[in-house]
């Protein structure tokens, strides 16, 4: 991914979107940069370390998720079809800052710093019914099991 294509963020924008993320039940908040119906999806995600995203995949050959770290540090976790961790990729400023998530790959991420900003792009017109498939072997978001699973993932990544 070409670093020149990453949108600039002002300090005021960072503060605003982190404030929105902090008050969100999901502990994350998106800044959507594309228009509804666009083929190229672009979003900047502002994420706190307590955020749990249920592992999922994006069905469709064109749905390669490209991530570029703007701020903080996180671990991208890839899983096999049974839910076993198959790979863990750490992104941190000054080291590895980009990753492409293949289409049809189960994945999630955990934040390794208190606050993280990730710029993400993916091809394909967004349709909430077909955009992603949630992993049946992982807990749903906002459940007690999700809190335990997030702790397990963080321990696994740091351990």
Mean model confidence pLDDT for the chain: 94
The pLDDT score that the predictor gives to residue 12 is 96
Q: What is the pTM of this model?
A: 0.93
Is residue 98 pLDDT above 90, yes or no? yes
Look up the domain containing 75 and give its range. Answer: 3-158
* CATH code, domain carrying 38: 2.60.120.10
Q: Which DSSP helix (H) or strand (E) runs through 90?
A: strand 85-92
The pLDDT score that the predictor gives to residue 114 is 97
Closest alpha carbon to 88 in 74, 98, 103, 70 = 74
* Average pLDDT rounded to a whole number, residues 53-81: 97
Q: pLDDT tens for residues 3-54? A: 557 889 999 999 999 999 999 999 999 999 999 899 999 999 999 999 999 9
d(CA 26, CA 77): 19
Q: Give the distance, in angstroms, between the CA of residue 103 and the centroid of all CA atoms in the same chain.
A: 14
Is residue 127 pLDDT above 60, yes or no? yes
Q: What is the DSSP letter of 38?
A: -
Percent of all residues in the chain with a pLDDT value above 90, rounded to a whole number: 87
Total of domains in the chain: 1
Provide the residue count of the chain. Answer: 159
The pLDDT score that the predictor gives to residue 129 is 83
Per-residue tokens: 73: 């540090």
Is residue 1 pLDDT above 60, yes or no? no
Report CA Rg, the chain.
15
């Amino acid at each position: 991914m070409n670093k020149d294509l990453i949108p600039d963020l002002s300090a005021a924008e960072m503060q605003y979107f982190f404030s929105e993320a902090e008050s969100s039940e999901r502990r994350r908040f998106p800044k959507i940069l594309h228009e509804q119906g666009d083929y190229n999806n672009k979003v900047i995600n502002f994420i706190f370390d307590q955020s749990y995203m249920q592992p999922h995949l994006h069905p469709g050959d064109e749905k390669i998720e490209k991530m570029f770290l703007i701020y903080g540090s996180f671990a991208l976790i890839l899983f096999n079809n049974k839910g076993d961790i198959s790979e863990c990729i750490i992104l941190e400023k000054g080291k590895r800052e980009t990753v492409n998530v293949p289409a049809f790959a189960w994945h999630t991420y955990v934040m390794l710093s208190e606050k993280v900003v990730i710029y993400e792009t993916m091809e394909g017109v967004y349709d909430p019914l077909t955009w992603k498939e949630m992993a049946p072997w992982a807990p749903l978001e906002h459940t007690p099991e999700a809190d335990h699973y997030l702790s397990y993932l963080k321990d696994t990544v740091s351990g």
